[in-house]
Amino acid sequence: MASAPTTVTITGAGGQIGYALLFRIAAGDMLGADRPVRLRLLEIPQGMRAAEGAALELQDCAFPLLHGVELSDDPRVAFDGCGIAMLVGARPRGPGMERADLLAANAGIFGPQGAAIGEVAADDVRAVVVGNPANTNALIAAASAAGVPADRFTALTRLDHNRAVGQLAEALDANPGDVRGVAIWGNHSATQFPDVAHAAVGGAPVVEALAERLGGHDAALAWLDDVFIPRVAKRGAEIIEVRGSSSVASAANAAIEHVRDEQRGTGGATTSAAVVSRGEYDVPEGLVCSFPVTSDGAGYRIVEGLALDDRSRARLDASVAELVAERDAVRALGVL
- Active-site residues, by number, are 188
- Binding span for ligand NAX by CB under 6 A among 8-16, 62-70, 169-177, 283-291: 8-16
- Identified binder of ligand NAX from the candidate list 26, 58, 84, 88, rule CB under 6 A: 88
Q: Kindly tell me which residue out of 25, 31, 109, 140 binds ligand NAX, with binding defined by CB under 6 A.
A: 109
**Which residues have C-beta within 8 Å of that of residue 5, sequence separation ≥ 6?**
35, 36, 37, 38, 67, 68
Residue among 77, 172, 142, 120 nearest 275 (CA):
142
- 36 vs 89, beta carbon nearer ligand NAX: 89
Is 83 a binder of ligand NAX (CB under 6 A)?
no
Instruction: State how far the Cα of 110 lies from the Cα of 95, in Å rounded to an integer.
Output: 21
Give the CA distances from residue 90 to residues 82, 103, 111, 285, in Å, rounded to whole numbers and listed in that order: 19, 10, 12, 25
Out of 9, 15, 117, 185, the residue judged to bind ligand NAX by CB under 6 A: 15
Rounded CA-CA distance 168/190 in Å is 18
One-letter identity of residue 160: D
- 147-206: contacts with ligand NAX (CB under 6 A): 156, 159, 188
Please provide the size of the chain in residues: 336
Whichever of 92 and 176 has its CB closer to ligand NAX, that residue is: 92
Q: Which residues have a Cβ under 8 Å from the Cβ of 43 and sit 6 or more positions away?
A: 11, 12, 13, 14, 50, 51, 71, 72, 73, 89
| Binding test (CB under 6 A) with ligand NAX, winner from 6, 7, 9, 11 | 11
Among residues 30, 42, 84, 287, the one that binds ligand NAX under rule CB under 6 A: 42
Query: Rounded to the nearest whole angstrom, what is the least distance from the CB of residue 186 to ligand NAX in the complex?
Result: 13
Phi, psi of 63 (to 5 degrees): -65, 125
The least CB distance from residue 111 to ligand NAX, in Å, is 11
Task: Write out the residues near ligand NAX by the rule CB under 6 A.
Answer: 11-12, 14-18, 42-44, 46-47, 88-90, 92, 109, 130-132, 134, 156, 159, 188, 236, 246-248, 251
